[in-house]
Amino acid sequence: MTLSNGRTILAIPGPSIVPDRVLRAMHRAAPNIYDGELVDMMPTITADLKAVAGTQHQVAMYIANGHGAWEAACSNVFSRGDKVLALSTGRFALGWADMASMLGVEVEIMDFGTTAALDPTRVEERLRADTEGQIKGVLTVHVDTSTSVKSDVAAVRAAMDAAGHPALLLADCIASLACDPFEMDAWGVDVMLAACQKGLMTPPGMSFVFFGPKADEVHKTADCLTHYWNWDRRVTPEGLYHYFDGTAPTHHLYGLREALDMIDEEGLPQIFERHRRLSGAVWAAAEIWGADGPLKLNVAEPAHRSWAVTMLHLGGSDAARLRDWTDRAAGVTLGIALSQDDSSGPGPDASFRIGHMGHLNSHMVLGTLGAIDAGLKSIGIPHGSGALEAASKALAD
Ligand SMILES: *Cc1c(COP(=O)(O)O)cnc(C)c1O
């Protein structure tokens, strides 16, 4: 007997749930890549991506996951021997920094721990001390998916401006785009990266590097640049071939087009509000579970929590047992904990993550929370009672 037969749910922070509309849009005969519908669709895709990012400037697309976007961003604006300041609130800034360093860029990590947002005053102090302007870029992760910490990217720009520092501001919005509010131009971000498989609701395989004029100027002399990552042709294409420096991801483009239509139909403010409300239900449940047992939200301060993902701690190996139970008995796959390269912290089996990004509504979140509640009971992890009631109230308010 299994209780997991039925439609399963992937409640992890990416890849996210792919809407049936997106799947249907991809299910078609191989399209003409020389002219016609697909070619005509391309400018609408870039225009709509830019609208989601809040930028008037450029977007280059890549057949790559988020790691590819990291490398694309670095290789377009940095030169060997440049120094960058990476602001870390979890695993992802470190992964990005690692990629920059493999390209020959010198990386300085500023570590803000794994449970709270970065502190812009420390960034300002460091930049003020860089009187020779050695730092060429500041790498920020808007939402660090490994910790579910959200940072204030606009405050980093304000810190850079206050220090009068000319470095580029780069932001990884792979987890947050179309989940947590973000405004590339208004916030003064020079380079922003995203991927299609989180808030953009498309199967993994495409990523995006948005850039403004200051980044494009630096790009002209960047010597980490390679033919494939070069954004020049990708933003001035003379045919479909140029957008991707080779064959286009034909079916992905149809899927992405449909996802962007869905975003347009719902409207970004409504999408943000939906994510805010759904994450509020997750936090309400977590607080009750934790009131009488080991479960704990990773980020104590609500303003520092992402609306796309929530990280929770159970201790010991209970998170692994819980994930196993919800998968086997409820058809709910919860996110694993990612290593923080910090052996002092809880082990990977001690924590788990709930993805609440993209194509998600109240009943899906309540289902996931219900499965967790049942799992805690089934494997005997002490927890406060009434978590589902609290989640339901949070949604009813
Ligand atoms: C998912 C994610 C990445 C990595 O993306 P992949 O597609 O797995 O390579 C990088 N940064 C953040 C913030 C992410 O959420």
375: nearest Cα among 312, 307, 298: 312
137-180: pLDDT as tens digits: 999 999 999 999 999 999 999 999 999 999 999 999 999 999 99
CA of 70 to the centre of ligand 1 (A): 9
Atom of ligand 1 nearest to the CA of 69: 9
Helix (H) or strand (E) holding 272: helix 268-291
Q: Is residue 83 within 6 Å of ligand 1 at its C-beta?
A: no
Give 103's contacts (C-beta < 8 A, 6+ positions apart). 71, 74, 75, 78, 80, 224
Ligand 1, atom 2: nearest CA belongs to which residue? 174
- pLDDT higher than threshold 80 for residue 57: yes
Q: Is residue 371 within 6 Å of ligand 1 at its C-beta?
A: no
The pTM for the full model equals 0.97
Q: Is residue 167 within 6 Å of ligand 1 at its C-beta?
A: no
Q: Is residue 175 within 6 Å of ligand 1 at its C-beta?
A: yes
The mean of the pLDDT values for the chain is: 97
Paired tokens of 50: 């830019």
Atom of ligand 1 nearest to the CA of 70: 10
Q: From CA 199, how far away is CA 171, in angstroms rounded?
A: 16
Atom of ligand 1 nearest to the CA of 175: 15
What's the confidence (pLDDT) of residue 345? Answer: 63
380 dihedral zone (left: phi>0; alpha: psi -120 to 50; beta): left
Give the pLDDT band (50/70/90) at residue 347.
confident
The residues facing 336 across adjacent strands are 352
- pLDDT higher than threshold 70 for residue 343: no
Over residues 78-82, the mean pLDDT reads 98
What's the confidence (pLDDT) of residue 69? Answer: 98
Phi, psi dihedrals of residue 137, rounded to the nearest 5°: -150, 145
Helix (H) or strand (E) holding 210: strand 207-211
Q: Is residue 205 within 6 Å of ligand 1 at its C-beta?
A: no
Over residues 353-380, the mean pLDDT reads 98
- pLDDT higher than threshold 80 for residue 272: yes
User: 3-state class of 10 per DSSP?
Assistant: strand
What's the confidence (pLDDT) of residue 394? Answer: 98
Over residues 243-248, the mean pLDDT reads 98
Over residues 70-85, the mean pLDDT reads 98
Give 131's contacts (C-beta < 8 A, 6+ positions apart). none
| First and final C-alpha spacing in the chain | 38
What's the confidence (pLDDT) of residue 340? Answer: 64
Q: Is residue 187 within 6 Å of ligand 1 at its C-beta?
A: no
202: nearest Cα among 362, 45, 32: 45
Q: Is residue 237 within 6 Å of ligand 1 at its C-beta?
A: no
Q: From CA 3, how far away is CA 97, in angstroms rounded?
A: 43
User: 3-state class of 140 per DSSP?
Assistant: strand
Q: Residue 250 CA to chain centroid, in angstroms?
A: 24
Q: Is residue 88 within 6 Å of ligand 1 at its C-beta?
A: no
Q: Is residue 148 within 6 Å of ligand 1 at its C-beta?
A: no
Ligand 1, atom 8: nearest CA belongs to which residue? 66
